[in-house]
A = this chain, B = another copy of it.
Amino acid sequence: MQDVSSLVAQAREGRPRAVARLISLVEGASPQLREVMAALAPLTGGAYVVGLTGSPGVGKSTCTSALVTAYRRQGRRVGVLAVDPSSPFSGGALLGDRVRMSEHASDPGVYIRSMATRGHLGGLAWAAPQAVRVLDAAGCDVILVETVGVGQSEVEIASQADTSVVLLAPGMGDGIQAAKAGILEIGDVYVVNKADRDGADATARELNHMLGLGEARGPGDWRPPIVKTVAARGEGVDETVEALEKHRAWMEERGVLAERRRARAAREVETIAVTALRERIGDLRGDRRLSALAERIVAGGLDPYRAADELVSGLTEG
């Protein structure tokens, strides 16, 4: 057991091992989790959180890495959280194609963390926001949350960011895939990467068309820009950062940023509350209250719904 307040102090100083330790405490649902979260609360809110999502092969890591470079040129401290819901491997190591991030591995102004949440209690929705809080409290100015695929949970993670970036690449039938996965609703900024390839313009046009469909925007509404990049060569990256900054400014002007953060916090609280209640009910297994209710159901004297009512009303007493 390490002293939480000293860990937090060290994380504030930018010590990567303290940050790593805090994230481990948080994602492992350690007994100190609550203490950690309480200590972090007053230190959070400074970071701008950018979610990146897109199908495998669009060049997400490359884009993320290029964004890190761009932000570092501006002197910002950057956190990268690479979330993979299909992998059981977690930790500070650079996994798989995370290798592209290795150029930043020795930069003390960059903190990179892979997070695998398969089999995680409460899933991704629960763990990732907590890790973001650690990076936020640790003084990151920008946090890039990169998800691996475009499944429902990835979209959920990405949409919990301040700004969501959806990446596409030419010739991958991405338009339809994107529509299917619902990412056309979550993108604040669209990036067509590998724009030097055939079909990049077609992809951008198709995307532009799809974004325009069902459009009924007012004059002050946000129209998601489409940025073309060749991230591997750094092309279009400054334009991407510019688009992100524009979106951030637009949100701040209209109070949208605060609203999104409130909504995000509310969702977090909800998820934690449901998990806590589920655990409390789980603790009742073998408890005589639940056994007695079950006994009455089997005997036909009670139906499971009324039994659940009794159980729920008994929860706050326990």
Contact = CB atoms under 8 A, between A and B. Distances in A.
A277 interface: yes
A202 interface: no
A295 B38 contact: no
Contacts of A172: none
A191 B196 CA distance: 59
Interface string A259-273: 001110110111011
Contacts of A265: 293-295, 297-298, 304, 307
| Best-buried of A33, A263, A273, A299 by chain B (most CB within 10 Å) | A273
A133 to B, nearest CB: 8
How many copies of this chain sit in the oligomeric assembly?
2
Contacts of A262: 291, 294-295, 297-298
Interface residues of A, number: 54
A302 interface: yes
Q: Is the interface of A mostly helix, strand, loop or mixed?
A: helix
Interface string A296-312: 01111111111111011
Contacts of A273: 281, 308, 311-312
A249 interface: no
Nearest to A270: B281
A274 B272 contact: no
B37 A303 contact: yes
Contacts of A303: 34, 37-38, 40-41
Interface string A81-119: 000000000000000000000000000000000000000
Interface of A: 33-34, 37-38, 40-45, 129-130, 258, 261-263, 265-266, 268-270, 272-274, 276-278, 281-282, 284-285, 290-291, 293-295, 297-309, 311-313, 315-316
Shortest 10 CB-CB distances between A and B: which pairs? A272-B308, A41-B303, A265-B294, A265-B297, A266-B294, A37-B303, A273-B308, A262-B294, A268-B304, A269-B307
